[in-house]
Amino acid sequence: AELVEVDYDPLPAVADPVEAANDETLVFPDLGSNVCFHRPPDDADPQLLDGCEVRVKGRLISQRISALPIEPRSSAAQFENGRLTTWISSQTPHQDKAYLGAILGLSADEVRVVAPDVGGGFGAKGARVEDVLVSWLARATGKPVRWTETRSENMVALQPGRAMALDFELGATRDGVIEALKLDIVADAGAYPSLGAFLPNLTVLMASGVYRIPKIEASIRSVVTNTTPTGPVRGAGRPEATQMLERAIDLLAAELSLDPAEVRRRNFIPNDAFPYTTASGAQYDIGDYAGALELALESAGYEDLRREQASRRQNGPEPRQLGIGLSAYVEVTNGISEEEFGAVEITASGEAIVRTGSLSQGQGHETTFAQIVAERLGLPIEKVTVTRGDTDVVPRGTGTYGSKSTQIGGVAAGKASEEVVEKGKLLAAAELEANPEDMVLNAEEGVFHVAGAPQASLSWGDLASRLDSQGRLAELAAEVDFKASQPTFPFGAHVAVVEVDTETGSVHLKRIVVVDDAGRIINPLVAEGQVHGGVVAGIAQALFEELAYDSDGNPQNANLVTYCIPAATELPPIEVVNMETPTPINPLGVKGIGESGTIGATPAVQNAVIDALSPYGVRHLDMPLNGETVWRAVQESGNSQG
């Protein structure tokens, strides 16, 4: 090494996606452009907004944020007797098995992937190059190999999310009825584009939001930069659409001197319009958007809050300004309508084992899926065990992402349990020498008996014991692969209340009221936990988080000392208000819920802070709305109300 001399010639870097889109500094000069994915408008119309009486425009920056799972990525592998077993902190073990087999030249039978309990995923955890290297090293050395990244490595190398600039122009009548939306998206794909380059397609799909917008014209440019490649993070393209649209609605309300709630009311898709196809091609299943907003407003005491705000402003300038922010949203879950595996079998003791291709990183599948199966079998929930995450135990599956698990994995498990019940009726009828058509299952007690004659009965345990003694226990089992006919579209409305200290710039989030309608709720406690987590993530983007790079592409805050996230003491109680509008798309009537809170909370909080600063002439601020950003906005306004 001492005999080697290296001269480095620094090359120009570009870390800002909008700058990269200009192609003045090329990341890969041979390609001639930084644009790696371009989707022009379907039918560009230069006169799209010409007939609109009122037009508002702006730029929404949805900043780069870290997925920040509490557990960083980790991988272990062992190659023994010609077979690879690897343990990966992953959301998609069956996909990982396919990747590893293809890359390492191993057959499906020669690869086993185990995804044990994982401390969070948020869309960012799947097989990566490090996992492949760990498996390759295990085979090359014949020794077990383990790797775990540090927190700083996690924040630099794990795919971040968002990093999108959205230029919008909204046209409306003087009565506030929206007529058209023009949207130009520049998305940061990072240095080596992956799925993140295509996430703006979801942003465009959801660009209409909960509103009837007759005409939408959208273009996408995803660009390469000298930064970490982006990918899905809790929301994956959908939060950006809501952030953009809800800012545009507030700007329109300000332009027309209308209450932001009233502008939303005038533009909601009405209940009798469903199923509804938007101008951007989304096929909404069902909704009650006006009902969600009214429920949120009533629960927050919106009229009283506005009166308090007006009273405080009439008393002259004061350092602590009250802000009220709204958001109304709809999102897409199970967006690509994949198939999921579910299986149920009865053990010799009369308990049930559920196998699912979905898996949990804290979402509570073990509880929710067990509850679905227990209700159908008539068993106590503690007698149902859910297994997942091992490709030797579960033969196939798509994994967990896109808020799809219960609506396909839960449905598959439910259908498998129903098939087991039907098999149980036939087998119990034979044991009791009864007509199978007369056999029923008492779901309250989990026993089979002849209709109208409960005195002769068999419990699951009785039936399983008899079949086991005959070597026929395997007959009490079923496997189902379920695929929904289309995605589902959860919706809701949030109200955020903040108090802003204009002398220091500090923002105190006083309240956040949340209505998240995810269809039928299987387990209210699990659902509320998902909403809480999503809302906190949304608040964090609005007020705290940003993965920053300098102009040379160097990370500036890739650790938890300098990357800000909220502590529990900085958050108010999250006021969750229940609303259920079952979807007709699946038998359970359920939709996804894991990402909804994130999508609704961010724009509500952003709108609240900007509303607090409206007496200072502030019309828009980019996130995160930290103390310095707010303080500078007040200073630049001239420190005067009016």
CATH number for the domain harbouring residue 605? 3.30.365.10
Q: Are residues 252 and 385 both part of a single domain?
A: no
What is the per-residue pLDDT across 3-43, written as a single tens digit (0 to 9) for each? 999 999 989 999 999 999 999 999 999 999 999 999 999 88
Average pLDDT over residues 443-469: 94
Residue 639 has pLDDT above 90, yes or no: no
Q: Are residues 21 and 91 both part of a single domain?
A: no
Q: Are residues 475 and 514 both part of a single domain?
A: no
pLDDT of residue 642: 44
* Position 426 in a domain: yes
Q: What's the pTM?
A: 0.95
* Position 498 in a domain: yes
Q: Are residues 58 and 94 both part of a single domain?
A: no
Q: Are residues 251 and 315 both part of a single domain?
A: no
pLDDT of residue 640: 52
Q: Mapping DSSP to helix (H, G, I), strand (E, B) and coil, where does residue 325 land?
A: strand
Q: Are residues 326 and 219 both part of a single domain?
A: no
**Cβ(342)–Cβ(356) under 8 Å?**
yes
**Cβ(216)–Cβ(279) under 8 Å?**
yes
Single out the residue in 112, 142, 157 at which a domain terminates: 157
pLDDT band at 336; cut points 50, 70, 90:
confident
Single out the residue in 141, 157, 173 at which a domain terminates: 157
* Position 199 in a domain: no
Q: Which domain holds residue 379?
A: 339-483
Phi first, then psi, for residue 287 (nearest 5°) are -170, 160
Most confident range (mean pLDDT) of 104-118, 243-257, 443-457 is 243-257
Q: Are residues 223 and 316 both part of a single domain?
A: no
* Position 150 in a domain: yes
Average pLDDT over residues 333-353: 93
* Position 200 in a domain: no
Range name among 53-67, 333-347, 511-525 with the lowest pLDDT average: 333-347
- CA gap 581, 408 in Å, rounded: 18
* Position 206 in a domain: no
Q: Are residues 180 and 41 both part of a single domain?
A: yes
What is the per-residue pLDDT across 252-301, written as a single tens digit (0 to 9) for each? 999 999 999 999 999 999 999 999 999 999 999 999 999 999 999 999 99
* Position 611 in a domain: yes
Cα 429 to Cα 43, 376, 438, 442, 446: the distances in Å are 64, 19, 8, 14, 15
Cα 297 to Cα 248, 292, 510, 542: the distances in Å are 20, 9, 15, 21
Mean pLDDT of the chain: 95
**Cβ(521)–Cβ(580) under 8 Å?**
yes
Q: State the sign of the Cα–Cα–Cα–Cα dihedral 40, 45, 46, 50.
A: negative
pLDDT of residue 118: 78
pLDDT of residue 533: 95
pLDDT of residue 128: 80
Q: Give the total number of structural domains in the chain.
A: 4
DSSP string, 298-313: HHHTHHHHHHHHHHHH
What is the per-residue pLDDT across 88-133, written as a single tens digit (0 to 9) for each? 999 999 999 999 999 999 999 999 999 998 788 888 887 688 999 9
Residues present in the chain in total: 642
pLDDT band at 337; cut points 50, 70, 90:
confident
* Position 381 in a domain: yes
Average pLDDT over residues 199-209: 98
Q: Are residues 315 and 352 both part of a single domain?
A: no
Going by their DSSP bridges, the two strands 276-277 and 453-459 should be labelled as unpaired
Q: Are residues 492 and 477 both part of a single domain?
A: no
Q: Are residues 528 and 613 both part of a single domain?
A: yes
Q: Are residues 42 and 102 both part of a single domain?
A: no
Average pLDDT over residues 370-384: 97
